[in-house]
Amino acid sequence: MEEEDDMVKEGLMASPREIFSISGPIHLTTIDWNNSYHRTSVASCLVQAVYTLERDRQQNRIGLKSQAHHWWEFFNFTLAETLIDQSDGSIYGAVFQYKLFSYNYHNTPYSKTPPLHVIAFRGTIMKPHSRSRDLRLDLRCVRDSLHDSTRFVHAIEVIKTAVAKTGNAAVWLAGHSLGAAVALLAGKIMTRSGFPLECYLFNPPFSSIPIEKLVKSEKLKHGVRFAGSLVKAGVAIAVKGRHHHNKGQEDDSFMKLASWIPYLYVNPLDPICSEYIGYFNHRNKMFEIGAGKIERIATRNSLRSLLTGGGGGGSSCSDSTSEPLHLLPSAYMTINTSKSPDFKRAHGIHQWWDPMFNGEYVLHQFNQ
């Protein structure tokens, strides 16, 4: 057993978590596209396929030794395109095509069609071949500058090409961690352009202090966030008044996103994404206590962006790519309420297709 572990570490064998027959949802022999667990499992497994594609490349696993193809073939997808980062040559994403897709499939309000294409993006891989580039992009997420990275510019071009060919209804986006940031930013851009996409965001980074994880007292959490909303609303009114921003343009830019409801997957024990729970809960709380007017201003702005002159939720569409990713009006949130034993599990992609998964499901829609 120790010999096998050493071989995995040295790259001579695939990790069990990369092998579909060991770690994948092999019980899903038939997919019901109306079942949210089934759709979540497919989307998350296609993201895992991208991780494994890159690991196959790094470890030179070809032919019978390659593991990635099992993650898409099981669900009747083919690999249409691999997305390569120009900076380090790593595979950061892929376009998967559904083999059983039919344009004659009649969609009704009670029936979901399978996607023709799923464009999936992996997160950070802490291995020598990809670590440096991925960590630099992680830093861009924190600095709200992911939009002008060569990886994202390439990703949005691929997405626009797919939508131009098949229409936005036939395209899904999916991503985990850094990949979720890419998918979220692309989803916002496409929605503002009039082409909303179904979007599955697993453990997306929240570029702010993780109050949800750091502060235990619910009253203290609310107090900190309430003070933050007051400050943001006050600064927004002062700054935007001074710069004579057009209010109609501000509202239009933010509200274009309100009807778009991406699927958001978060774990309260994961400090990278857990603040999304507090972000939406706080907004609801503010409306409950009659402070909705303050929160309507605060929720569409970032204090850092306001003070530095960067993009904000109320900026024009051309500037909105530099806004913080978490400025999100609406989301269908899945919260993993199972107890993850450590950070690696809490932030991992495998939790989202676990048949023993326990979750809380909440729809958050922005009140105009």
pLDDT confidence of residue 327: 80
Give me the amino acid identity at 115: P
pLDDT confidence of residue 285: 67
d(CA 287, CA 70): 47
pLDDT confidence of residue 129: 85
**pLDDT tens digit string along 215-245?**
555 666 555 554 555 454 455 555 565 444 4
d(CA 33, CA 16): 28
DSSP 351: G
pLDDT confidence of residue 335: 97
pLDDT confidence of residue 16: 94
pLDDT confidence of residue 316: 39
- Low pLDDT (below 50) residues in the chain: 1-11, 105, 226, 230, 232-233, 242-250, 292, 295, 303, 306-307, 311-319
d(CA 199, CA 100): 21
pLDDT confidence of residue 125: 93
d(CA 178, CA 277): 18
Token pair 């199972």 is found at 338
